[in-house]
Structure 1
Amino acid sequence: YDLLLRKKYPSWLYPVTMGATTIWERWDGQKPDGTFQTPGMNSFNHYAYGAIGDWMYRVVAGLETRVEWAGYKQSIIKPHIGGGLTHVSASLDTYYGKLSSSWKVNGDKLVMDVEIPANTTATVFIPSDDPEAILEGGRPLTQVKEIQVVGTEDGYFVVKLGSGRYSFSRGE
């Protein structure tokens, strides 16, 4: 997260502070004094370094799939919350419809909303290892029969969901 959010060179945010609206070939394509690097290797629209976008979807928002689940027929939603961010929202238009993940933290309180397209399933990792502390739509998670409990893993409570919209909260 530090490399993403730092405003000074070297970082992903440094070019934005210099006016960038695309991903540059060099993080320091424009120097702090406003001058430019040599034009031989200084593209200001260089998607080859676009891996940061993939990382933000897969890691920060937690939207991913596996090769054997072509077209997002099955998905994984496992956001990595923290790093100084207080909220994130991302969505993908899949073959089956919109797959989305958003989360917001305020102190110990977490709200995590997910949308799973029709005719698909998702394994969702909710940051908490205490199922009693998690609500879905204001109801205790353990009382929502549409949710299949998988278990706990590395500080997450893991559930399997069918298509629909779900709103999880913790720390109310």
Structure 2
Amino acid sequence: MFAGIDTISPGFKTIRIHPTIARIGQGLDSAHGSYDSIRGMIESQWKRSADGIELNVTIPANTTATVHVPTTDARIVREGDSVAAQAAGVKYLRSEDGYAVYAVGSGEYSFTAE
């Protein structure tokens, strides 16, 4: 639940990563979850600090995902060393309910937000 791994379509062809993260002092400071799907290992790991949030995800081959990064400002989200909206394999979709939502293909991603 806290790692936020869910399926959108049958057979885990499309995945949703939507972690549950409370405010500092009101819940967990980190969580890690994985699921060995029919398409391969799905992982979601996040940690919170005074500097912000780090969310690492692994999406298996031949699979796509929507990744919900907790932030109220999508402009500050980074994936690796790049602004997330300009990172290879990452497409900004929208902001909703305190999250910036991105579409990604298979691979490993490291999102950060202040």
Query: Normalising to structure 2: TM-score of the pair?
Result: 0.91
What are the equivalent positions in structure 2 for 1:15-164 lying under 5 Å apart? 56=1, 60-66=2-8, 69-82=9-22, 83-164=26-107
Q: CA deviation at 1:148?
A: 1.5
Gaps of 5+ in 1: 1-55
Q: CA deviation at 1:145?
A: 3.8
Q: Which amino acid in structure 1 is aligned with residue 16 of structure 2?
A: I
Gaps of 5+ in 2: none
Q: Which amino acid in structure 1 is aligned with residue 6 of structure 2?
A: E
Instruction: Compare relative contact order (CA 8 Å, sep 6+) and give the higher one, 1 or 2.
Output: 2
Aligned residues: 111
Distance 2:85 2:65 in 1: 18
Distance 2:38 2:11 in 1: 6
Choose 119-128 or 77-86, whichever is displaced more. 77-86
Tell me, yes or no, if the aligned pair for 2:84 and 2:92 is still in contact at 8 Å. no
More strand per residue: 1 or 2? 2
Q: Which amino acid in structure 1 is aligned with residue 10 of structure 2?
A: A
Percent identity, aligned pairs only? 40
Pick one of 92, 108, 114 that aligns with 1:165: 108
Distance 2:97 2:53 in 1: 17
Runs of 4+ with >6 A deviation: none
